[in-house]
Structure 1
């Protein structure tokens, strides 16, 4: 009702609301498969725990990385609406294939399971970034034209409202997928557990297609007849020029309307085409400017990787941590430790409606800024909260290890799993700040013709973060397991494991990433001042 109320005031359209609902259903379908996939692989397919974990991690990382490839094609050759329609077919084919595989798995070779899984990945690669960019298109904002202060504030409100409620929509779908589908899969059956997400996805796509005549479909002009070739060539030129000039950084703003949160002009407008050398005249001015924009986003992109690594902990070590704690209510009811992942999404769903009405007014009092905080400040707050979450996780794990030693001495004491709630809630709050800020940042910092690539860059943070998390686990296991005893920090015996040290290690890396991020923001502000 709140969204509809906002829409009635003319801030976001009904087509935006429909697309947000469609995105929420997609998250329900995806989380309905992904959240409990490890359980399916270990209990039904009979994979080992390590093999199942690697399979899910690789699939998750690839799913987040594929949009980088599809986004270039979407913004160069295809339009967003057609991409959504075509990729949705692959998405549904993957879900349907997975459902069929679950029904016939006793006759199916294990390797054939990867076909429907990666069909889902390929379908999602075109579907998700295109859907979000297409939803933002419904705001009917012309970012290429200058505007007055009043018009700029109105555009800012529309963008901010859209991205906040977009994330609220996908968080609501994720919450339902994380909580409802694992219960159905574990208690009723996997066939039904995969059928429901498939039907939900088909229904949402049919609703999306049925409302085609209500959508705003922008036509973006390519910068040349061969945009991809020019883009790649422009990247090479920009890398060479940036390295030679040693000035790869964020561009400056000329006034307050140009701040990164809800700017009127993307970074591409800061580049003067007259500065491009004559030797590179075969590449269009716009292509080179676009390539420079992408390259200048990478410092911020890199500092966000540790944030993504931290978000790999709830489905892995947080769950393992909970299994070693008391997770029963009374004598019969057992709380599944994996169900605590819903606390993150629930925190998002609870905080998001209060963000504009409670959080922003408080921040206005603190910063004495009418807009509260910029997008970089918003992302920074979320990074700090994720850092605090790891500190809390380390302290709780230290307490758990202390109690486990008392148990070995014969004392009947137990640490409740509810002690894990603070670290889950902190991650949920950090999600509201950083992830929503990331979506705004990467969407607004690229030209209108490359908005899908901007969304894909945002998604790729979590893809690379997934692979980086796996690398850190392997590295830590190698170095801590070579002490002669054979036990690493990740020992199967939780009394010998030292997850607390690993959490402190991640907290330290997170702090380093935040300090670099803050330095980049400081450089940006200093550049703005010098320009003014």
Structure 2
């Protein structure tokens, strides 16, 4: 179902800038800002909906309600595309943000609910013995890797198939097919209801205690005291358990330092596209392809290699996986900077006529940076999912997934703010856009990539220090 949702989402979103400029009539800048804002809001809403899911509702109800909102929003998008000549242009954003509202509840609740089905989020690992705990840890890691594999597969199909249909058969059909796929996903979810395992985490036995959980979090943050013992816990066990407030505050530094990775995560769909041939969109899909290829190889090649290097038998920890991904993303940005520097040096001197245009690079020059970012995603993104899910109490699993998704929402806004700041700082007379100038001799995307590589390296160093003092689960 996660793969079908990604197919529907990417089927609408991947080609949205083209639709807004060619059909709706917006400028390129306005369309890009609209899509960036929409994506940012879509990644921020899961945190708010996760709080509601874990405090007032349950995960199944959250998925049920949000999936219906999601389908309703998709139907509205398709209807607007068919009736666009009869409705004002500004009304386009109502159905678009209705899909964001549905997506905000659907994504975190569905992933947490899926993990519930395997029992990998229970807080009784130490009671089951080390062997059972290690086995559960392996299942946990495998779940999040294959979950990401399904999402990337759906994204790849949505990007490839729907872009072709929209360009060749029209936008009405191009939006209707993703709508039908999302509706199919919702129907499949409801049909399988009798098969689901509905978990009842400790401390969430009734609606009254559940609805007060956020108040308890705020109180524990101020008082830094453990929450009251649940019916299944003694007072001594509750006293030994760290407060929810301390857990959340302990996660915030790692959450904040991962924002730099979220900024780099956006590059393949933004400035990287200026380097490659506009007629080769499959270059940008190499990230997704590399993820799909790497996930099945992870247990058979990467884990044995890690064991051979470390001399252990458990592979690498979640935080180590995130760190490996950060290193790979640093290397990817450094390679992107070198390639861009070489590309700009090939610009013919001014006055050379049409030959003075910035040369587009072959796919073979661009593949290393795309593939490295794809590999870094497998380590960092999957690691982030597992980390935030496992480090919060069982009654806050959906909030954990919401925290992970919010990294990319805040990172998107941070990236836009960073670009604006650099643009202003590097602007000069005759070149108002600085490093991001459309004039090849004046642009310096290579400097921007070096800046991102430096930021990622610094964030990695800080991340290693944070990990040294982090005392979570």
TM-score > 0.5 by shorter chain = yes
Counterparts of 2:271 and 2:214 in 1: how far apart (Å)?
41
5 Å-filtered alignment, 1:457-476, equals 457-476=403-422
Q: Among 177, 196, 200, which residue is 2:158 paired with? A: 177
Contact 2:54/2:398 (<8 A) preserved: yes
Contact 2:71/2:183 (<8 A) preserved: yes
Contact 2:47/2:402 (<8 A) preserved: yes
5 Å-filtered alignment, 1:71-470, equals 71-141=50-120, 143-145=122-124, 146-220=127-201, 221=204, 225=208, 227=210, 231-232=214-215, 234-235=217-218, 237-239=220-222, 273-274=238-239, 289-322=243-276, 326=277, 334-336=279-281, 339-405=282-348, 409=352, 414=359, 416-418=361-363, 419-470=365-416
Alpha-carbon offset, residue 513 of structure 1:
0.9
Alpha-carbon offset, residue 494 of structure 1:
3.3
Counterparts of 1:240 and 1:502 in 2: how far apart (Å)?
44
Alpha-carbon offset, residue 483 of structure 1:
5.2
Counterparts of 2:138 and 2:217 in 1: how far apart (Å)?
34
| CA-to-aligned-CA distance 1:458-510 (integer Å, 9 cap, x gap) | 00000000000000011011111145643411112234211111111111111
Contact 2:324/2:380 (<8 A) preserved: yes
Contact 1:231/1:291 (<8 A) preserved: no
Counterparts of 2:469 and 2:121 in 1: how far apart (Å)?
29
Change over 3 Å in CA distance of 1:48–1:496 after alignment to 2: same
Alpha-carbon offset, residue 61 of structure 1:
0.4
| Alpha-carbon RMSD | 2.4
Contact 1:72/1:228 (<8 A) preserved: no
Contact 2:431/2:442 (<8 A) preserved: no
Alpha-carbon offset, residue 367 of structure 1:
1.1
Unaligned runs of 5+ in 1: 1-21, 243-268, 276-285, 328-333
Contact 2:343/2:361 (<8 A) preserved: no
216-225 or 80-89, which moves further after superposition? 216-225
Equivalenced residue count is 457
Alpha-carbon offset, residue 82 of structure 1:
1.4
Counterparts of 2:63 and 2:333 in 1: how far apart (Å)?
37
Unaligned runs of 5+ in 2: 226-233
* Residue 231 (structure 2) aligns with: none
Change over 3 Å in CA distance of 1:364–1:100 after alignment to 2: same
| CA-to-aligned-CA distance 1:60-89 (integer Å, 9 cap, x gap) | 000000011110110111111111111111
| CA-to-aligned-CA distance 1:48-70 (integer Å, 9 cap, x gap) | 11111110011000000001111
